[in-house]
Amino acid sequence: MTFTSPRNPDHYPDRDIDCQVSIDEAFRELWENIAAAGWGPEEIASALYELTDNHLTALRENDVVTRRLTAQGEN
C-alpha cells in the first residue's frame, strides 16, 4: 500500500486532513478485514480508538522522558 507524503514538511493548514486522506484506503481495508473476522462495528471502533489513544499516550510519555534526559545531560 502506498501513502502520500505531506505537501510540506512543516505544519500547514489541513495537514491533518491530508494525513486522513493518505491513510483512508488502508483504514477501510483494515476495518473490512476486522469485520470479516466477525467483530462488530462498535467493537472495531472502540478497539481502534483505544489503540490510537494508547499509542498517542506512549508517544507523549516518551517525549517527556527524552526531554528530561536531554535536560539532565546539559547539566
What is residue 39's predicted lDDT score, i.e. its pLDDT?
A: 98
Q: Which three cell numbers stand for residue 41?
A: 462495528
| Count of CA atoms in the C-beta half-sphere (13 A) of 5 | 4
Q: Domain coordinates of the chain in residue numbers?
A: 40-75
Q: pLDDT by residue (tens digit) across 12-57?
A: 999 999 999 999 999 999 999 999 999 999 999 999 999 999 999 9
What is residue 20's predicted lDDT score, i.e. its pLDDT?
A: 97
Answer whether 25's CB lies under 8 Å from 1's CB: yes
Between CA 56 and CA 69 the distance in angstroms is 20
Task: List phi, psi (to 5°) of 8.
Answer: -150, 140
What is residue 74's predicted lDDT score, i.e. its pLDDT?
A: 82
Q: Which three cell numbers stand for residue 55?
A: 499509542
What type of residue sits at position 35?
A
